[in-house]
Structure formats: structure tokens, C-alpha cells
């Protein structure tokens, strides 16, 4: 993808994008949906490209260079983990614990179309435990759709503080064919929610928007595009190094957390597997200012003694 200064204003016509998505392990195109482990994650984000760079974050966080395109984002997300056995009030020690998290996320995305480079910083502030409201949300969904009522939320991970900084870098490797581009990426996460590393490849095949012309432009072509649509496949294999996960092991601050060596009150933890293999694949489609993305994530076992996992994601976007 080769861009010149002449095309810069056109690529920037959309300045805002509303994105909502839902992760759910019940979504599986192979017909192998489950209701355990990372069972649901719901998030909504507002992305925008400011007219002037006055933010303190703009000065402090990594940027992709002088010609970079900056996109800010504010989001809120709820995540939940549940065991395989939902009928028992206290999950066995070799099963996932009940755990919920609720957090706000502030993102700073810097894209350089000349260097084919994306840098993204994400700052997470939130809470786990009963204040996450995960118990009430899951029981409402299960009651509404006639699913099994989960009985073990009284044993969920105790309240704790979630603070994290996540940094992602992506670099374009190949884009000399009109239907194919290839990139490589890496992500580091550090804090009280998760400490991990993740490396991956990214292949997009089909009619697609430029990937390094801004975060908003990944989801929808600019208004001046002669063919304002895209339809392409996405393949994203990777490997993750997991050092700590508060929703598996308990939070760092609460004295009743299993991570602090406490096992009373029905709380228990499972140990994450150090290395997790992932194979994500899906399809993106857009028309005008609207787009939809579906991804399926196949993962090797994420916790010791527990089977491999799969999560499906449906994401909807609207730009203006």
C-alpha cells in the first residue's frame, strides 16, 4: 500500500467510529461451543481523531513517526470466567473459578502509512469481583435464553483492583499484491490484571482498506473511495506467553485472594499454562460507513489440567 501526501486528507474524512463487540465461547462455527473459562466479554469503544494534539498522552506515549495518524479511544468492557460445572455451588479445584472484571480502557493508536507501522498503547483501570456485576449479567442472560442457572457465583474471586498497560506494535511485511497483505505483530501486557507477551502474524486476503492509514480506516473505506466496500478474510496465528492472570489466580491486593495464599471462603485458583498457541481467523465486510467483523479464536489449553478453548467474536462498527 503506497500513499502520498496528496491522499492524506481523503484518508482522514471519517474522524469518529463507534465499535461494539461480544466475545463468547458459545460461538463456534465448528459446532463445539462451550460455557467455561473465558465465557463472555462485552465491550464498546468510541474512537476519534482529534483536530489538535494537546493530550499529555500524546507527549508521553510511543508514536509511529512524524507522518503518523493518531486515533484516541475510550471504552468500557466486562469479562467473565466460569467453570465447566455450573450446577455445583463450589467448583472443584481442577476447574476454572468464577471471576468477573469490569474496566475502562483508554487507547492511543499511532499509524504511519509510509513506514507501514502501527503502535498502540492501552491503559486499563477497573475492578474484579462482585463490583464487576458479572454475576447478575450472566444470570440474566441464562434466564432469558433458558440456559442452566450458574450456582457458584458466591465463590467468585474476591474484589480487587485492575490496572494494566498494554502495548502493541505491528509492522507491514508484504503488500505488493492487490488482494493480499502480510504483517507481524507483538503485544506486551503488564499490571495487576495480566502479565503476558504475544507474537503473531496477520494475513488479510481480499478487497480491503489500508491497514496503516489509521485505526478508523481499518474498518471502513474513506468516503472518497470509488468502491466504498470491503470483503476480506483474516488469518492470525500466534503464540502467547502467560505469566499472570488475575481472573485465574486472584488479584494482587486483597488479603483474601488465592494469589495471596488464602484458600478459605470457597475461593480457589488455577495456574495458567505458560505457553498458549492461538489460531484466529475470520472475515471483515463493510459498506459505506458500517462494517461487521467475525473472528474465531482457537486456543490450546490456557490453564493446567483444563481442555483447549475456543472463543467467537462478533464486532459491529459505525463511522462518521
Task: Look at residue 225 in the predicted model and tell me its pLDDT.
Answer: 67
pLDDT of residue 10: 42
- 33, 115, 279, 312, 320 from 282: Cα distances, Å: 16, 26, 10, 9, 25
Tell me the C-alpha distance between 192 and 246, whole Å: 7
**Looking up cell 475492578, which residue turns up?**
127
Domains and CATH numbers, the chain: 12-319 (2.40.128.140)
Closest CA to 34 of 280, 243, 298: 298
Q: Dihedral, CA atoms, 82, 83, 88, 90, nearest 10 degrees?
A: -80
Question: What number of residues does the chain have?
Answer: 320
- Contact (Cβ atoms closer than 8 angstroms) between residue 210 and residue 222: no
- What percentage of the chain has pLDDT greater than the value 70? 93
pLDDT at residue 149 in the model: 86
Q: Tell me phi and psi for residue 57, to 5 degrees.
A: -60, -35
E-strand stretches of the chain: 16-24, 37-48, 69-82, 99-112, 117-128, 160-177, 180-191, 194-207, 229-245, 275-287, 290-299, 309-319
Cell numbers at 79, concatenated: 469479562
Backbone dihedral angles phi then psi of residue 158, each to the nearest 5 degrees: -70, 165
Q: Could you read off the pLDDT tens digit of each residue along the chain, which spans 320 residues?
A: 333 333 344 444 789 999 999 999 999 998 888 888 899 999 999 999 988 777 777 788 899 998 899 999 999 999 999 998 888 888 888 889 999 999 999 999 999 999 999 999 999 999 999 999 999 999 998 888 888 889 899 999 999 999 999 999 999 999 977 799 999 999 999 999 999 999 999 999 999 999 999 999 999 887 766 668 899 999 999 999 999 999 999 999 999 999 988 665 568 889 999 999 999 999 999 999 999 999 999 999 999 889 999 999 999 999 99
Amino acid at each position: 500500500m503506497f500513499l502520498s501526501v496528496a491522499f492524506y486528507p481523503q484518508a482522514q474524512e471519517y474522524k469518529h467510529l463507534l465499535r461494539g463487540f461480544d466475545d463468547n465461547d458459545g460461538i463456534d462455527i465448528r459446532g463445539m461451543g462451550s460455557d467455561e473459562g473465558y465465557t463472555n466479554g462485552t465491550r464498546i469503544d468510541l474512537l476519534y481523531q482529534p483536530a489538535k494534539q494537546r493530550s499529555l498522552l500524546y507527549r508521553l506515549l510511543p508514536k509511529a513517526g512524524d507522518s503518523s495518524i493518531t486515533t484516541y479511544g475510550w471504552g468500557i468492557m466486562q469479562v467473565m470466567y466460569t467453570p465447566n460445572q455450573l450446577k455445583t455451588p463450589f467448583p472443584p479445584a481442577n476447574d476454572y473459578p468464577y471471576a468477573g472484571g469490569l474496566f475502562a480502557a483508554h487507547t492511543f493508536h499511532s499509524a504511519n502509512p509510509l513506514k507501514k507501522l502501527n503502535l498502540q498503547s492501552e491503559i486499563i483501570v477497573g475492578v474484579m469481583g462482585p463490583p464487576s456485576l458479572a454475576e447478575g449479567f450472566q444470570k440474566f442472560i441464562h434466564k432469558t435464553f433458558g440456559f442452566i442457572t450458574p450456582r457458584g457465583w458466591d465463590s467468585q474471586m474476591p474484589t480487587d483492583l485492575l490496572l494494566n498497560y498494554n502495548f502493541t506494535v505491528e509492522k507491514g511485511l508484504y503488500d505488493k499484491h492487490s488482494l493480499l497483505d502480510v504483517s507481524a505483530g507483538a503485544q506486551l501486557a503488564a499490571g495487576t490484571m495480566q502479565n503476558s507477551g504475544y507474537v503473531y502474524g496477520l494475513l488479510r486476503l481480499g478487497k480491503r482498506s489500508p491497514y496503516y492509514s489509521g485505526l478508523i480506516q481499518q474498518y471502513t473505506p474513506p468516503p472518497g473511495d470509488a468502491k466504498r466496500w470491503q470483503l476480506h478474510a483474516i488469518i492470525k496465528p500466534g503464540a502467547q506467553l502467560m505469566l499472570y492472570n488475575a481472573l485465574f489466580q486472584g488479584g494482587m491486593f486483597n488479603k483474601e485472594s488465592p494469589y495471596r495464599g488464602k484458600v478459605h471462603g470457597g475461593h480457589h485458583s488455577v495456574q495458567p499454562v505458560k505457553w498458549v498457541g492461538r489460531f484466529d481467523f475470520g472475515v471483515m465486510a463493510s459498506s459505506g460507513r458500517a462494517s461487521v467483523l467475525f473472528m474465531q479464536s482457537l486456543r490450546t489449553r490456557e490453564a493446567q489440567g483444563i481442555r483447549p478453548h475456543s472463543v467467537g467474536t462478533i464486532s459491529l462498527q459505525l463511522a462518521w
